[in-house]
Amino acid sequence: MRVLGVDPGLTRCGVGVVEGVAGRPLTMVGVGVVRTPLDAELGNRLVVIEQGIEAWLDEHRPAYVAVERVFSQHNVRTVMGTAQASAVAMLCAARRGIPVALHTPSEVKAAVTGSGRADKAQVGAMVTRLLRLDAPPRPADAADALALAICHIWRAPAQNRLQQAVALHAAKAPTLKGRTG
């Protein structure tokens, strides 16, 4: 399974591609950051993010895109930029028919480090170890993107089984409602 992880941000949007399956060693395929100029208009910044993500999708052809779920922060301006960059990533994937998974920051931290409260240094250190890298990817947005991809590879099989069970239950439910006693 090849996954493009996206750590959305308006100034720095981390992107990282990881390949592998749960229970086996994973491989980093690529990592980087899509940067936008601070002084550019918002619409132009979103276009730069779109072009960057499209280039990563073209080059790496992932089967899935994992995006950090935007969560409430105290700084509304920061959360808006993150949400806008996140929407661009989801749009790029959806346009190509690539499934998108959203993972919370604490879910990603827990998957990669074992603690949902891990700091950026701990996440970077574990990404380095799990992918057998010489050094943590810089900036932290790049390491976070790889962590998102790792999280998705490890959690997708369980999530897929859960979704299949729910779908099977929902499909059987109408036939069970008509039966009595």
In DSSP notation, 87-101 reads HHHHHHHHHTT--EE
| β-pairing verdict for 2-7 and 12-19 | antiparallel
Between CA 46 and CA 3 the distance in angstroms is 22
Residue 144 bears catalytic tag: no
The residue among 120, 76, 101, 84 whose CA lies nearest residue 163 is 101
Out of 59, 134, 141, 144, pick the active-site residue: 141
DSSP3 helix / strand / coil % (the chain, rounded to 5): 55, 20, 30
Residue 7 bears catalytic tag: yes
Out of 7, 39, 41, 144, pick the active-site residue: 7
Residue 119 bears catalytic tag: no
Out of 39, 41, 58, 68, pick the active-site residue: 68
Residues carrying an active site annotation: 7, 68, 141
